[in-house]
Amino acid sequence: MALPANNTPWPPPSNHATKVAEWSAWYSGDPDQLATFYGSQAPVSNRPSQYAGGVVGRVARWWWGVPVAEGEQRTKLHVPLAADICGTSADLLFSESVKLTTESKTLAAMFADLQEQGLDARLHEGAEVAAGLGGVYLRSVWDTEVSPLPWTEVAHPDGAIPEWRGGRLHAVSLWTELPTHVTGTVHRLVERHAPGYIEYRLYAGTGSNLGRVVPLPEHPDAAYLALVVNDEGVQLTGIGRLTVRHVPNMLPDRQDRRSIHGRSDLQGVEPFLDALDEAYSSWWRDIRQAKGRLHVPAQYLDTAGPGTAASVDLDREVYVPVQGVLGTGKDGLLIQAQQFDIRWAEHKETCEAWTTKIIESAGYSTQSLSSGTGGAVTAAEVHSHERRSYMTRGKKVRYWTPELRQHLQTQVELANAHMGAGIKLEDFKVEFSDGVQESAMSLAQTALAMRNAEAASIETRVSLVNPDWDQTAVDAEVGKILAETGQGEPLPVPDDAGL
């Protein structure tokens, strides 16, 4: 697949792009984006699609697609539960640094440098995007004037056109809408990544049309690329690998089982999210309507002068006395008070039920998104209470592990090709921390029980109590314990033990 031709409608329409746009609206937490996707909320006029049949009418008739009555303002609340779910998914995967272990000291040093430069932060970002939009792309970038090592950028699926071969990513075109440089013109930078090279094109068009190809120096944010491409606008990567990896959030896509893009955590719960917003908005409407109201004669209202409309401040609790006769007869000017009840219990139960349904349908335990009970619990108890969340996490780890390995291997090869790193690519392990650690007291009690049962050696118990120590530090500690207890000759302590 070549780069897009001039005057191509943009972004390219597709069923998957429509789904991503819907997930993006929920993930954003922005009521305006939800209103834009599901139907116009402008009070001036209502769209015909909101009264139509078929798919268009069904989507538009969601609560967020219901037309606002003429002359009224939108008073809808949005609960950002979708964003909370996506954030929780990322926390379960990357709340702690991913562990990269290898026997090679030079490779380990490079991995440490990559993490120091922000690799873990980019992975956490990518995991949240993947949970919300169904997948994410990890792009390897290098520039010797910026960094001595390659680094990771996160590309979103609504800015990518993938090319699959045998169910694997073979090439991908990523695009970026650049800041406005010329009034009325939208510049987009499109880069097609393929094994061995990257092809760049700068287009000048409109909001819905890609427009025509223009020279890279025409926009200041793309001018630097003119220095790294050849006459055909191609940059050779110097390696045989693709410099972009695709990580699906989960598979299969239940709405399109043949799709390999990945499905969002929000797939299937969109109607429940819509209903939750409606329930909270109803609760808020009860609160607004329950404010004390005084029904007063027109003479009591504030006016801006003869011929102008009368008004009253609904939040005013005390009205200034006015001239007139007050009473209950037909000759009196009546003032009546009105106070509605707030159906708080019914609304609270409804909202809690919808919230639980959404969280569990998305694949998580409610405890993962709550503040907790406040009491101390062990790691085993956390896993027991949040079993559903950790099952979902385990599934996602299986998608992330191979793609992250390939991504890191790509960066090692790029460092060798462009930075002269000279690092031999050896085997390494990618391990995900579950983010839950036992307390020191719990570990000590376990070690004591193992000692009393004569079920573990000193080395095993030291490793248990100090899970972050390497073998050198463990051996040094075992030697100290043997020396202090007189159980035998202490082990030799290396000079670099650090203890």
| Helix (H) or strand (E) run with residue 139 in it | strand 135-141
How far apart are alpha carbons 361 and 372 in whole angstroms? Answer: 20
CA distance readout (Å), 110 to 100, 409, 415: 10, 11, 9
Check: CB of residue 279 under 8 Å from CB of residue 348.
no
* CB-based burial, 275-288: b 16+ in 10 Å, e otherwise: bbbbbbbebeebee
User: Which two three-digit tokens encode residue 322?
Assistant: 């006015």
Could you tell me where the beta strands, DSSP code E, fall in 142-292? 151-155, 160-165, 168-177, 186-194, 197-205, 212-214, 234-236, 244-248
Backbone angle region of 51, left / alpha / beta, with phi > 0 → left and psi within -120 to 50 → alpha? alpha
User: pLDDT tens for residues 330-387?
Assistant: 555 565 655 667 787 888 999 999 999 999 999 998 888 875 544 444 545 544 557 8
Give the DSSP per-residue string, 109-127. HHHHHHHHTTHHHHHHHHH
> How many Cβ atoms are within 10 Å of 58's Cβ, its own excluded?
11
How far apart are alpha carbons 90 and 405 in whole angstroms? Answer: 18
Q: Is 246 helix (H, G, I), strand (E, B) or coil?
A: strand
Question: Mean of the per-residue pLDDT values for the chain?
Answer: 82
Peptide bond into 490 cis (omega under 30): no
| Helix (H) or strand (E) run with residue 429 in it | strand 428-431
CA distance readout (Å), 63 to 79, 255, 271, 411, 452: 14, 22, 9, 47, 64
Taking only the tens of pLDDT, the chain with its 499 residues reads 588 999 999 988 888 999 999 999 999 999 989 988 988 433 334 445 444 544 444 455 688 887 666 656 667 889 999 999 999 999 999 999 999 999 999 999 999 999 999 999 999 999 999 999 999 999 999 999 999 999 999 999 999 999 999 989 999 999 999 998 778 899 999 999 999 999 999 999 998 999 999 999 999 999 999 999 999 999 999 999 999 999 999 999 999 999 999 999 999 999 999 999 999 888 888 787 776 666 666 555 666 666 665 555 655 544 444 445 555 555 555 656 556 677 878 889 999 999 999 999 999 988 888 755 444 445 455 445 578 888 999 999 999 999 999 999 999 999 999 999 999 999 999 999 875 555 566 667 777 787 788 778 888 888 777 776 778 888 888 888 888 877 765 555 555 554 4
Instruction: Please tell me what DSSP assigns to residue 209.
Output: B
How far apart are alpha carbons 19 and 186 in whole angstroms? Answer: 25
How far apart are alpha carbons 81 and 259 in whole angstroms? Answer: 26
Check: CB of residue 218 under 8 Å from CB of residue 199.
no
Sign of CA dihedral 103, 114, 132, 79: positive
pLDDT of residue 372: 54
Check: CB of residue 245 under 8 Å from CB of residue 262.
no
Q: Is 391 helix (H, G, I), strand (E, B) or coil?
A: helix
